[in-house]
């Protein structure tokens, strides 16, 4: 039942999808086709769901290894 911590720099639109997928009740988790639809619906054209360039180095998701 452990879930990784969602980084603070993670856009809320992606974090919400992750939380739904990680619901403790498997019956509440979305099917894969719904996950795809949710991800496709995130509007990244105006930066929504994207991490600003000046914050990428501060986010663990974007650190070079």
In SS3 terms, the chain reads as CCCCCCCCCCCHHHHHHHHHHCCCCHHHCCCHHHHHHHHHHCCCCCCCCCCCHHHHHHCHHHCCC
pLDDT: is 53 or 39 the higher one? Answer: 39
Higher pLDDT, residue 5 or 60: 5
| 4 CB burial (10 A radius; 0-12, 13-18, 19+) | exposed
Summarize pLDDT for 29-51 with one digit per residue, the tens. 999 999 999 999 987 776 555 56
pTM of the model: 0.68
Integer Cα distance of 49 and 27 in angstroms: 26
The larger pLDDT score, comparing residue 45 to residue 18, is at 18
């Amino acid at each position: 039942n452990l879930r990784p911590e969602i980084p603070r720099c993670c856009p809320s639109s992606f974090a919400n999808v992750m939380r739904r997928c990680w619901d403790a009740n498997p019956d509440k988790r979305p099917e894969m086709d719904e996950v795809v639809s949710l991800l496709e619906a995130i509007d990244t054209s105006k930066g929504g769901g994207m991490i600003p360039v000046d914050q990428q180095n501060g986010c663990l998701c974007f650190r070079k290894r």
